[in-house]
Amino acid sequence: MATMKDLRGDVSTWCPGCGHFSIMAGIQKAIIELGYEPHEFAIISGIGCSGKVSEYIRSNGFHTIHGRSLPVAQGVKIGNPELKVIASGGDGDGYGIGLGHFVHASRRNIDMSYFVMDNSIYGLTKGQTSPRSEHGFTTKTGTSSNKEYPVDPVATSIVNGATFVAQAYSGDIKELSTILKRAIEHRGFSHVNIFSPCVTFNKVNTYDFYKEHLTSAEKPFATRDEAVAAIRENNGLITGILFEELRDDFQAKLGIDFDMQSLESGEMDEQLLTSIQA
Ligand code: SF4
Ligand code: MG
């Protein structure tokens, strides 16, 4: 059985107190508690402080380019269906330049997970307004307050067809690791948005802010509409598994038997061609 030591990668350069530490630990804990070995996982990350997670966790991994963790991760899963695949990145990476990929991954339902470390700021580049920054948000790098409104990540994945959507907080490790485990075990595309304070540059969305404002959903909502209504009522500040349903994932829809034998023999290529032509 794998241990934390087996999953420890490069030395971290994250700032002390950064919320990303708990998310990394939550992923490592989930891998251990679900009984997987490090080589059974691939962690594919984008660019930003969050993007370093593919180096800090010792497993298969690929630190890709800005906003492109999802297409690379989907390719990894199609190429090696036996791997458990996690795409990970930040809010600037995933909900800015990567937003189009996020919407299409949600509706495509490939069997993989997407964990977003949401600190509502661009941290690596020293604190610019991100697609998740509140209206009126100010930074030391900006000349005026934010004139835009933030992207709603979980409502977006829900309305676009994701089959597992949750929100978590890096300050609540217990709920976080339970959600990450459920997301990894879900068959289909699982999206978890994780509030992760940037202690160095974001002085609004702090640990104290989340402690005061977050509420927790006791159980998933029965319909997509109910889940979206609850997200709106709580101004997005709601954690828990918000929506879950089981339906055929992308591979099942293609009717392809993704196993290593058919992959190596070339039989999978023929199956793929036939199903695309059908
Ligand atoms: Fe974390 Fe912010 Fe430091 Fe980046 S700049 S490591 S997000 S605290
Ligand atoms: Mg960010």
Task: For ligand 1, say whether the CB of 127 is within 6 Å of any of its atoms.
Answer: no
ipTM score of the complex?
Answer: 0.99
Q: In terms of Cα–Cα distance, which of 74, 260, 258 is closest to 271?
A: 258
Note the ligand closest to the C-alpha atom of 131.
2
Residue 268: pLDDT over 80: no
CATH 3.40.50.970 domain locations along the chain: 20-246
Q: Mean pLDDT, to the nearest integer, of 181-205?
A: 97
For the domain with range 20-246, which CATH number is right: 3.20.20.10, 3.40.309.10, 3.40.50.2300, 3.40.50.970? Answer: 3.40.50.970
Nearest residue (by CA) to ligand 1, atom 1, is 18
Using a 6 Å cutoff on CB, does residue 198 contact ligand 1? yes
Examine the pLDDT at 259 and tell me if it is beyond 70: no
Q: Which ligand is nearest to the CA of 116?
A: 2
Q: What pLDDT score was predicted for residue 183?
A: 98
Nearest CA to ligand 1 atom 5: 123
Q: What residues have CB less than 8 Å from 134, skipping those under 6 apart? A: 120, 146, 150, 204, 205
Q: Indicate whether residue 18 lines ligand 1 (CB < 6 A).
A: yes
Name beta bridge partners: 117. Answer: 90, 194
pLDDT 10s digits, 132-155? 999 999 998 888 999 999 999 999
